[in-house]
């Protein structure tokens, strides 16, 4: 339950008067007609938008001065109903009794308490924008390298607690960019989770080797999603059909990180951030990586 609503209901219930306690001797005589000292009172009043009173056959004999006519309200000379006096069970702002209407519904809007801790409305979001006068640096994207990875046939691990797991190992590949080029060493892998709609949660780990002599080695990790219409995703899962799928008919988006201890490349890749967009081409995955700078 919303904490703000709970506090509002607590405040509203505080407006309702407590029921008086019934003496024990009165409870002991419940149901015993001989214990009744006086006949039941038939002069009753139901408070509602239209006040109704009991003992209707005697109502024509009552005058406006009768004390029963001043309980909760009294009629003025014009015949209209006056507002009741404020009590502990009424709203102090609108002088309205806490009661339901004839449909059994209770009007609560008069007693709603403003909660300063409640989530602001959408129209108030602009006023809550932190430090609107500050001008912060914004990132830019620059194409940094292109990657091509060749794949072994997938191994279906089956349904796991996280979803349907596929394991795909890498047989190799090539890459080239603004800061170097080289090959993808065999042995990397993509551990996929397939959701019920066919989308794939991608998570890869593999090693790049540069063309330098001696070569440098760079660990690369990616994670992202491949999403799209179910029929398109079904074609991508089949290497024989994947070549015929338009890469613009689905989305393959990646977050990319790299690390190395080689002095020639650590300032170029360590602590860097990249995003990528790619495609499946037969038994190959190709993507462009954009450095966030």
Q: Which domains does the chain have, with CATH numbers?
A: 141-292 (2.40.160.20)
Contacts of 202-211 with CB under 8 Å at 24 or more apart are: 202/226, 202/252, 202/254, 206/149, 206/170, 208/175, 208/182, 208/183, 208/184, 208/258, 209/182, 209/183, 209/184, 209/185, 210/180, 210/181, 210/182, 210/265, 211/180, 211/181, 211/182, 211/183
CA distance 189 to 200: 15
Asked if the model's pLDDT at residue 147 lies above 90, the reply is: yes
DSSP-assigned beta bridge partners for residue 176: 146, 181
pLDDT band at 84 (very low <50, low <70, confident <90, very high): very low
CA distance 53 to 68: 10
Asked if the model's pLDDT at residue 178 lies above 60, the reply is: yes
Predicted local confidence at residue 118, as pLDDT: 56
> Region 53-59: what's the mean pLDDT?
50
pLDDT tens for each residue of 3-34: 666 566 666 666 666 666 666 666 566 555 55
Predicted local confidence at residue 151, as pLDDT: 94
Asked if the model's pLDDT at residue 253 lies above 90, the reply is: yes
């Amino acid at each position: 339950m919303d904490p703000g609503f709970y506090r509002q209901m607590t405040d509203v219930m505080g407006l309702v008067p407590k029921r008086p306690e019934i003496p024990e001797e009165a409870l002991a005589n419940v149901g015993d007609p001989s214990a009744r000292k006086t006949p039941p009172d038939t002069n009753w009043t139901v408070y509602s938008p239209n006040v109704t009173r009991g003992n209707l056959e005697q109502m024509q004999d009552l005058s406006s001065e009768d004390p029963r006519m001043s309980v909760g309200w009294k009629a003025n000379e014009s015949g209209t109903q006056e507002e009741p006096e404020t009590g502990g069970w009424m709203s102090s702002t609108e002088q309205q009794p806490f009661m339901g209407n004839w449909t059994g519904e209770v009007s609560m809007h008069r007693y709603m308490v403003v909660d300063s801790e409640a989530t602001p409305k959408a129209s108030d979001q602009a006023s809550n924008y932190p430090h609107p006068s500050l001008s912060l640096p914004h990132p830019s994207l620059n194409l940094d390298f292109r990657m091509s990875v060749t794949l072994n046939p997938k191994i279906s691990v089956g349904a796991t607690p996280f979803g349907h797991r596929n394991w795909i190992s890498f047989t190799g590949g090539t890459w080239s960019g603004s800061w170097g080029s080289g090959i993808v060493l065999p042995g990397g892998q993509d551990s996929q989770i397939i959701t019920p709609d066919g989308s794939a949660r991608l998570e890869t780990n593999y090693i790049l080797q540069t063309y330098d002599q001696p070569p440098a080695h760079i660990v690369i990790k990616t994670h992202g999603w491949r999403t799209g219409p179910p029929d398109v995703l079904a074609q991508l899962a089949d290497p024989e059909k994947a070549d015929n799928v338009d890469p613009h008919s689905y989305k393959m988006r990646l977050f990319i990180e790299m690390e190395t201890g080689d002095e020639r490349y650590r300032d170029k890749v360590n602590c860097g951030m990249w995003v990528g967009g790619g495609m499946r081409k037969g038994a190959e995955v190709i993507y462009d990586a954009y450095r966030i700078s």
